[in-house]
Structure 1
Amino acid sequence: MVAQEVEKGFPDLVETDPKDFKRVNYSQLPLYLLQALKEQQKKIEELEAKLAEVSGPGTARRSGSCPKML
């Protein structure tokens, strides 16, 4: 990753050394990824709830995201 690009969206992930060289603090990256996954899962659950509302009763709902092949 280019630190200057990362800094635009995630300034907390970029450190600047005494010589003004920027570097990405990769050890903090998993925290951001975990938060993004949580947000994505919440959105999926919201969309599934909306789909269940508009589908109405009697519509089968799968627990998985992919249909099983026979």
Structure 2
Amino acid sequence: ENYKINRTYAFAHLKCCLPRWLLIALPSAWQLCTTLTELARNLIRFKPGATKPRSKHHKPHRKHAYKSTC
């Protein structure tokens, strides 16, 4: 089975870490290892080539999307 890192969680986690690292000091090797370990704990399973595009639907109330000019 194929797994990949949960990007949403990764971005949220790095968003918390990066300002601290940039303002205070560059991260140590230990901090980088703990961050990568934390990201590796949150993997999601995926199947390559299993995309399921949504079917096309018409909008039921298209006339309400436009303002009347009269």
Instruction: Report the TM-score when normalising by structure 1.
Output: 0.29
Q: Over alpha carbons, which structure has the higher Rg?
A: 2
Instruction: Report the TM-score when normalising by structure 2.
Output: 0.29
Greater RCO, 1 or 2 (C-alpha within 8 Å, sep 6+): 2
Identify, as 1 or 2, the structure richer in helix. 1
